Structure 1
Amino acid sequence: MDTTKHPPVDPQVRIGHVHLKVADLDRALRFYCGVLGFEITQRYGSQAAFVSAGGYHHHIGLNTWESQGGSPPPPGSTGLYHTAILYPTRRALAVALRRVLEAGVPLDGAADHGVSEALYLRDPDDNGVELYWDRPPEQWPRTPAGELAMFTRRLDLNGLLKEVEVATAAPNVKDGPKDL
């Protein structure tokens, strides 16, 4: 695409929310609210709900309008890779990790990307979920030329848990680090 005809998007543009099709609304709410700690801002019976953090109208929409009792898409099909939930601090991410572990939700991976630290898991409908925090930009790895130099290394889960002084040891992760 010729960017000379169209300027880049305004740098203040943000992704406001994600809306997911789920098979069972109550099950999805137990995960997003019970495990991750989001709060319900509005519910439409057994068909839809909106959840948020910090009083925003909604960060995640959940609905069964076209998916009640449905199954996840088969491997090899297109669709959402994951929803990434940004935590404000490393400690907040550690609290999220503790909640996930206490709920018995398995991790698919955990990675240090240089710019961020991330946990990868799946919701009850097999949607990918990334929980992460960004390091301050001045700590991001850069090449000698000043370009961003992200990488993927295994994240020390026990070190992360020390942020909240949890005695529970982190479990083995199914796979190695996930790529960006």
Structure 2
Amino acid sequence: MEYKVPAQTRIGHVHLKVSDIDKSLAFYRDLLGFEVIQRYGAQAVFISAGGYHHHIGLNTWHSRNAPPAPQNAPGLYHTAILYPTRKDLAIILKRLIAARYPLTGMSDHGVSEAIYLDDPDGNGVELYWDKPKEQWPLDGAGNLQMVTARLNVESLLAEATA
């Protein structure tokens, strides 16, 4: 019998090699709003949402002052940060726009709405929220049909003030 990972399994955290802890904290803490849980001197920091031990680890153990990894090489494509509501996604989009932070894309995937950007080290970041499961697009056989369509930015931003 083929083994299947238990349905309750979750991705616990991501640990990123960064070139500069302070630049990374300016992005993840100051812009995105994660809180610092623990520092390991000037070489590493653990950050989280809601007091969890850490959702993201940032370290310079092998990468201090290094250039970004090549885009066309194996490695992490992006870290996806799941927001609990559409309004939360709208609020962070509004913050990014106010900060004039460069975005690399925005999409409606049918199952979710997503904003894409890069952190200071060129690591891809997806900020998204999942639509209710009953709204997910299915084909005639009941199979999930994710898409990449234009995100209705105006409708999303209207959520920030709703």
Equivalent in 124, 131, 144 of residue 127 of structure 2: 131
Q: Does the alignment pair 1:53 with 2:49?
A: yes
Equivalent in 86, 90, 93 of residue 86 of structure 2: 90
What is the aligned-residue identity percentage?
61
Q: Does the alignment pair 1:41 with 2:62?
A: no
Deviations 1:11-64 (A, max 9, x none): 100000000000000000010000000000001121000000011110000000
Residue 141 of structure 1 and its aligned partner are, at CA, apart by 0.6
Kindly report the root-mean-square deviation, in angstroms, between the aligned alpha carbons of the 2 structures.
Answer: 1.1
Q: Does the alignment pair 1:71 with 2:67?
A: yes
State the distance in 1 between where 2:106 and 2:48 align: 24
Give the TM-score of the pair, scaled to structure 1. 0.87
Q: Does the alignment pair 1:7 with 2:12?
A: no
Residue 89 of structure 1 and its aligned partner are, at CA, apart by 0.5
Give the counterpart letter for 1:139 in structure 2. Q
Residue 83 of structure 1 and its aligned partner are, at CA, apart by 0.1
Give the counterpart letter for 2:130 in structure 1. D
Q: Which runs of 5+ in 1 are unaligned?
A: 167-180
State the distance in 1 between where 2:142 and 2:133 align: 12
Deviations 1:62-117 (A, max 9, x none): 00000000011123211000000000000000011111112221110000000000
State the distance in 1 between where 2:44 and 2:118 align: 20
Helix, strand or coil for the counterpart of 1:109?
strand
Q: Does the alignment pair 1:115 with 2:111?
A: yes
Q: Which runs of 5+ in 2 are unaligned?
A: none
Q: Does the alignment pair 1:62 with 2:58?
A: yes
State the distance in 2 between where 1:76 and 1:164 align: 36
Give the total of aligned pairs. 162
Q: Does the alignment pair 1:158 with 2:154?
A: yes
